[in-house]
Amino acid sequence: MTELRTERLTLAPPTLEDAPFVLELLNDPGWIANIGDRGVRTLEQARAYIGERFAKTPWFVVRDAEGRPLGMCGLVERDGLDCPDIGYAYLERHSGKGYATEAARAVLAYGRETLGHQRIAAITAPHNTPSQRVLEKIGLRFVQMINLPGHAEASAYFTT
């Protein structure tokens, strides 16, 4: 299993033991507002989500120095994009502390250096300016608004 480390964080692939955290994250107001309601309401559904969703592409649970989960960060293979995109979400109580930037920078480097991706993109909801600032800090730039399959509204598209 791949594990990434930064100055303050450890990023490790999610396991079924992370189901309580994943359940909380998927029902966090920030996740629902910016990513969408996935309908995951039980630990059993959270375990299934881990096995189905996070097993397909590299995703990491982001933990602080004490080992507490803060959020998730990873690469997504998304319909409508011709390269992987970086995604992340954190419990609202951990926002504004630089964790998203630190973890996203590590995942971007992993995608390029270890997985060999020449290009990596990202999408955000048009109103999600904090996430857009994170993308700009790690070197991605806004290109245009795009419509992706399965998304009701246009997304802001960023790439390297």
Local confidence band at 1 (pLDDT 50, 70, 90 cut-offs)? low
Local confidence band at 151 (pLDDT 50, 70, 90 cut-offs)? confident
Range 66-86 average pLDDT: 94
Range 116-135 average pLDDT: 96
Range 50-75 average pLDDT: 92
Per-residue model confidence as pLDDT tens digits over 3-18: 999 999 999 999 999 9
Local confidence band at 2 (pLDDT 50, 70, 90 cut-offs)? confident
Range 124-150 average pLDDT: 96
Residue 109 has a pLDDT of 97
CATH number at residue 135: 3.40.630.30
Domain extent for 138 = 4-159
Range 86-108 average pLDDT: 96
* Contact present, 78 and 85 (Cβ < 8 Å): yes
Residue 93 has a pLDDT of 94
Q: Which of 87, 67, 66 is nearest to 78 (CA)?
A: 87
The 10 Å Cβ neighbour count of residue 150 is 8
pTM: 0.92
Please state, in angstroms and rounded to a whole number, the distance separating the CA atoms of residues 56 and 153.
Answer: 25
Domain count, the chain: 1
Q: Please determine, for residue 89, whether its predicted confidence score (pLDDT) is greater than 80.
A: yes
